[in-house]
Amino acid sequence: MSTQSSTKAFQEAQELIPGGVNSPVRAFKSVGGTPIFIGKGEGGHIVDIDGNKYVDFVQSWGPLIFGHRDESIEKAVIEAVKHGLSFGAPTLAETELAKLVVSFFDSIDKVRFVSSGTEAVMSAIRLARGFTGRDDILKFTGCYHGHSDALLVEAGSGAATFGTPSSPGVPADFTKHTLLAEYNNIESVKKCFEDSRDIACVIIEPIAGNMGLVPADKEFLLALRKLCDENGTLLIFDEVMSGFRASISGAESLVGVKPDILTLGKVIGGGMPVGAFGARAEIMNMLSPDGPVYQAGTLSGNPVAMAAGFAALSKLKKNSRVMAVLQERATRLVSGMKEAANSYGITMQTDVRGSMFGFFFNENEVKNFADAASSDAALFAKFHAGMLEEGFYFACSLYETGFISTATTDAMIEETIAASQKVFKAIKNG
């Protein structure tokens, strides 16, 4: 397989863009080799600029639940563009998508749209602080909530990949109000509440997707909800990644725990840049112009993004049973790969939530970031390179989650399993 054009493109990009990429994990640093440059996507496949075709298990890191170039979403975008790209003024599309988003979740009455998941989380935390009148926030090691200053403390995802749990350029004063607890460890949370009576919110990925796929235990989330209630602290579920991916109605429908504030992104934009945060009316009414908590954005509620999101969520609502089909395929994929790995004496830990899947080369079950970090990164890099050579595009970090789309066919699943058998054999034979 030749990747000459991608190699040349990467060299040129590095002259103009830091690291040659506009998001660090794309640089292939943790898996080695040169990142492939994508020319186009179609259904369950992507094609690089050298003409190589891959089964895509990244799906733009989650948004493309219906695969690349879904006809109904593409049509909605083209129609919206005909009326204008942006107005900086209200449109009916915003209300239509808001009504649709709210209809999926019992926990939210109102929602505000922004342009990214990072912006959604940053705004949700400001809202929580404004509502409670408190300063401290509590997050979990390994959960990534975007790159705003207060949250770049022991982050997962790209930051963990590069071995920098916090970032230069973030003043200590910005993070002194951020408390850290261990994921799935309620005693560590209790300790934080003992250390501070000023905790405005606890923010968590209830289904973590940025240290690999690591779901929170139901009992842990129930205990977390109880602690927040006892201490007058708001609970924020960051479902920018898992929203409409793990379940059509969020983690709250899977575990029976309602958050006070919910953040969303990815799928709700159908592939366009978008984020959102929502809560019950009492909390959301604190936002400007109704209340004193300020938040604004020129491209918030962009009509093209709203149209794409409305098309995606409308299609999902009409075909809600598709989630069970996607979960079955994802389960069959990781089960098949695990069986192939085991046949060559390689131990894999796997998990699935809806259309999300994850795997670790680890002897033990992964319950938190420390467990994930103990996985065999070198083996993952070999597996990634081998599968890429065979025509299968997986996330280029062991700390990322994989995604199935409706365009990922049964045949693609079987082909992937067969290819993994071949790659594991090559790894075993050196």
CA distance 237 to 208: 10
The pLDDT of residue 162 is above 70: no
The pLDDT of residue 337 is above 90: yes
The pLDDT of residue 17 is above 70: yes
Q: At what angle do helices 410-428 and 322-342 cross, to 10 degrees?
A: 20
The pLDDT of residue 160 is above 50: no
240's tokens: 């920018």
By C-alpha distance, which of 65, 46, 41, 40 is closest to 268? 65
Residue 173, pLDDT score: 72
Residue 320, pLDDT score: 85
> Is residue 180 left, alpha or beta, with left meaning phi > 0 and alpha meaning psi from -120 to 50?
beta
Range 217-236 average pLDDT = 98
Residue 389, pLDDT score: 97
9's tokens: 């493109």
Residue 191, pLDDT score: 93
Residue 52 CA from chain centroid, whole number: 26
By C-alpha distance, which of 381, 356, 399 is closest to 157? 399
Residue 176, pLDDT score: 81
CATH code for residues 4-69+321-428: 3.90.1150.10
**Strands 261-265 vs 53-56: parallel, antiparallel or unpaired:** unpaired
Residue 201 β-bridge partners: 137, 234
For the entire predicted model, the pTM comes to 0.94
- Span 48-93, pLDDT tens digits: 999 999 999 999 999 999 999 999 999 999 999 999 999 999 999 9
The pLDDT of residue 353 is above 60: yes
Provide the CB-side half-sphere exposure for 369 (13 A, CA): 24
CA distance 59 to 23: 15
Would you mind telling me the total number of residues written for the chain in this entry? 430
Range 201-229 average pLDDT = 97
| Burial track 228-243 (b if 16+ CB lie within 10 A, e otherwise) | beeeebbbbbbbbbbb
Sequence ranges of the domains in the chain: 4-69+321-428, 71-318
Task: Give the DSSP letter of residue 396.
Answer: S
CA distance 330 to 353: 8
CA distance 116 to 68: 20
> Which one of 1.10.287.470, 3.40.640.10, 2.40.10.340, 3.40.50.2000 gives the CATH number of domain 71-318?
3.40.640.10
Secondary structure E strands in 374-417: 392-393, 402-403
Mean pLDDT rounded to a whole number for the chain: 94
**Strands 53-56 vs 392-393: parallel, antiparallel or unpaired:** parallel
Cα torsion 253, 366, 60, 330 to 10°: value is -70
| 310 close to 138: Cβ distance less than 8 angstroms | no
Provide the CB-side half-sphere exposure for 158 (13 A, CA): 14
**H or E element in which residue 263 lies:** strand 261-265
Q: Which residues are catalytic?
A: 144, 238, 266
